[in-house]
Chains A and B, each alone.
Chain A
């Protein structure tokens, strides 16, 4: 079965510094990977996805993610963190056959805290 792991419960970073939120995956076949963000009392919002192509994927709010097949990782990054980036971040992988019924399997989440 497809799965993702987020090894860090929380990441702390100072405003203006680069940030990385880690995600590793375990899939059979080609991975289809996603990042979502959740602000307090809100639903999850889509940030970016990797389906195929360039290993560096650019997404919303200045975030990007690097797909690394050899390390089975899909880490979320941002060059300069903002206090407003503080939120809960979820990595997810598509589960199901291409062209069939699919769903997303989510990691446990990583809380990002950006300090002024």
Chain B
């Protein structure tokens, strides 16, 4: 089966600019996650979707970050305006169902550098 697709792979922007990332999960995976991985740290969950509904966005900085999952398939994550501390790898993951049974499948990530 095809994996989780993310684009772009790399992005460099200036602070205060906006940026968007795209994720296409594995077909049939109802649950989609966006994680932020800052250099030297473990991934931190930003937002979790079940189909097209948000089930956890408690760690999403909502003043600048937004995410949507249209029709319960593709998802976009947006940052506006970006700050220097947003430099990180943004990982998308999807899950077929119960984590106990299936775990996550991760995409390769988008590396964002804010200058």
- Residues of A near any B CB (own CB < 8 A): 32, 34, 36, 41-46, 49, 51, 90, 92, 94, 98-99, 101-109
Interface stretch (choices B13-21, B43-51, B64-72): B43-51
A43 in contact with B109 given A94-B99, A101-B48 (CB within 8 Å): yes
**A43, A90, A108, A109, most chain B CB atoms within 10 A:** A43
Residue of A nearest to B91 (CB): A43
Residue from B35, B50, B103 in contact with A46 in the complex, judged by beta carbons closer than 8 Å? B103
Q: How far is the CA of A32 from the CA of B55 in the complex (A)?
A: 20
- B99 contact from A44, A90, A102, Cβ within 8 A: A102
Q: B100 and A109: CB pair below 8 A?
A: no
Q: Are A44 and B106 in contact (CB under 8 A)?
A: yes
Closest CB in chain B relative to A55 CB, distance in Å: 17
B73 within 8 A of A: no
Report A72 CB to chain B, min CB distance, Å: 18
Could you tell me which B residues sit within 8 Å of A by CB distance?
A: 4, 31, 33, 35, 40-45, 48, 50, 55-56, 91, 93, 98-100, 103-109, 111
**Complex CA–CA separation, A82 to B45 (angstroms):** 31
Chain B residue at minimal CB-CB distance from A4 = B42
Contact of A44 among B40, B100, B104 (CB under 8 A): B104
Contact A32-B100, Cβ < 8 Å, known A90-B43, A103-B33, A107-B42:
yes
Residue among A32, A34, A41 making CB contact with B108, cutoff 8 Å:
A41
Q: For the complex, what is the distance from the CA of A104 to the CA of B100, rounded to whole Å?
A: 10
Taking CB atoms, residues of chain A closer than 8 Å to B4 are: 43
Excluding A43-B93, A101-B55, A103-B48, 11 further A-B contacts by CB distance (< 8 Å) are A41-B111, A42-B108, A44-B104, A45-B106, A102-B100, A103-B99, A104-B103, A106-B44, A108-B40, A109-B41, A109-B42
A90 to chain B, nearest CB (A): 6
In the complex, what distance in Å separates the CA atom of A102 from the CA atom of B30?
A: 13
